[in-house]
Amino acid sequence: MFLSNLHSLVLNLAEYVQNLNDIFSNIFRLPKLKYGKITYRIRIDQDLSSGYFSRFHCIPIETLIFNGPFSNDSLNNLLYHFPKLHHLSINYLAASRDENSETHATSLLKHLKYVSLKLYLIAFNKFEQIVQTFFGDIEVLRISTQYDTAYLDAKRWEHLITSYMPNLRIFDIHHDGGVQRNQLTYHDLINQFRSSFWIERDWFFAHQHDWLKRLHSGVFYSTEPYRRKDFTFYWQLDKQICQSAQETNLNSVKHVYICSTKANKNPAHYFPNATELTIKHCLEKLDDLLVQTLNRIVPLRQLTRLIIKDFHINFDQFIHV
């Protein structure tokens, strides 16, 4: 083994990966590896259900970052075989095909303190099982999820944190979705996050709606003391329409996403330190007035990266901006 003394590995795979098990087998047999960051892609139709890490013995790695689709089926094996894991980040944790699959008990992960997960179609019931099994000693939890309204149930979160994550210092959530019929209204749900439980821990939240006529859904997210580098807002809802809907301190934001179809000529947000801008679904003509409006949101002269998606724009007009 030529890399027997390797402590840190950052791997960015440009091609689609056909067999993740082979990749992981070659990487995680390195005996002294402490830090691993792997970025990869798989094809849309590729099966993620096969479990990874089932062939490994205990691995001494401490920091593990997956930037690519990862199966929830494999999470149990991963956490069982990485007992010294301190930091875990997965940016696409996908639900298993078998919704009734169980999360089995494993050895205690006393070293695991930081967990960041972007969840894809994983129900809150399943997430609760993961927390109860593995996350008893974590101090930082960052999650991003969609759709399942149960993630907006403050009482369930209070029980989960109190009973299974007593050492939690940072709770950072980002939820995009709405409520179903015959449930509490969207605002009834998110207002429950204003109780003394959350205030005493200095955990505060804000929300946005993506359409004026869709107040039954929105984006709910943590604010202070967590400073986000990315921020998304919607033209139609840039003005204040409900209590605590807006976040005020935006100095940390580096990448701004502007969405929806009609621009607000007097935007309420300003991002003084942003250097990246993404514009999506804007149907307005790119004229001097719209450019002035954008400049009231982001200082255009300091932009280093610009992404335009689904924008009805004339290229000649764009060049002369």
Q: Which two tokens stand for residue 1?
A: 């083994």
pLDDT: which is higher, 120 or 320 = 120
In the chain the beta strands, taken as DSSP E runs, fall at 8-16, 35-41, 63-67, 70-71, 87-94, 114-120, 140-146, 170-178, 205-208, 217-222, 230-234, 255-259, 276-280, 305-309
Question: What tens digit of pLDDT does each residue of 201-247 get?
Answer: 999 998 877 655 566 778 888 886 556 788 877 655 544 455 555 55
For range 98-121, the mean pLDDT: 76
Q: What is the pLDDT of residue 267?
A: 66
User: What pLDDT is attached to residue 169?
Assistant: 95
Higher pLDDT, 286 or 136: 136
pLDDT at res. 78: 81
Predicted confidence at residue 98, as pLDDT, reads: 59
**Measuring CA to CA, which residue among 165, 147, 145 is closest to residue 156?**
165
Q: Would you state the pLDDT for residue 114?
A: 97
Quick one: 107 exposed, middle or buried, by C-beta within 10 A (0-12, 13-18, 19+)? exposed
Report phi then psi at 315, rounded to 5. Answer: -60, -40
| 149: pLDDT strictly greater than 80 | yes
3-state helix, strand, coil in the chain (%, to 5): 25, 25, 50
Amino acid type, 38:
I
| pLDDT reported for residue 245 | 52
CA–CA dist 66, 64 (Å, integer): 7
Which pair of tokens denotes residue 182?
Answer: 């015959």
Which sequence spans correspond to the domains of the chain? 228-321
3-class secondary structure, 31: coil
Nearest in space to 112 (alpha carbons), one of 80, 143, 134: 134
Task: Give Cβ neighbours of residue 247 (< 8 Å, ≥ 6 apart).
Answer: 206, 223, 231
- pLDDT of 200 > 90? The answer is yes
Q: What is the pLDDT of residue 218?
A: 81
- Tens digit of pLDDT for each residue in 288-304? 677 787 888 889 899 99
**Residue 247: Cβ-neighbour burial (10 angstroms; 0-12, 13-18, 19+):** buried
Q: Would you state the pLDDT for residue 238?
A: 46
What integer pLDDT is reported at residue 125 of this predicted model?
94
pLDDT at res. 130: 92
Least confident of 42-51, 123-132, 142-151, 201-210: 42-51
Q: What is the mean pLDDT of the chain?
A: 80
What pLDDT is recorded for position 1?
55
Crossing angle of helices 124-134 and 154-164, rounded to 10°:
10
Rounded to whole angstroms, the Cα distance separating 31 from 25 reads 12
Can you tell me the mean pLDDT for 65-81? Answer: 85
Distance in angstroms between the alpha carbons of the first and the last residue of the chain: 56
The whole-angstrom separation of Cα 200 and Cα 198 is 6
Higher pLDDT, 290 or 100: 290
Q: What tokens were used for 212?
A: 């004026």
Q: Which of 278, 295, 285, 277 is nearest to 316 (CA)?
A: 285
User: What mean pLDDT comes out for the span 161-168?
Assistant: 96
Kindly state the tokens that stand for 183: 């449930």
* CA pair distance 181, 166, nearest whole angstrom: 34
**Amino acid in position 178:** G
310 three-state secondary structure: coil
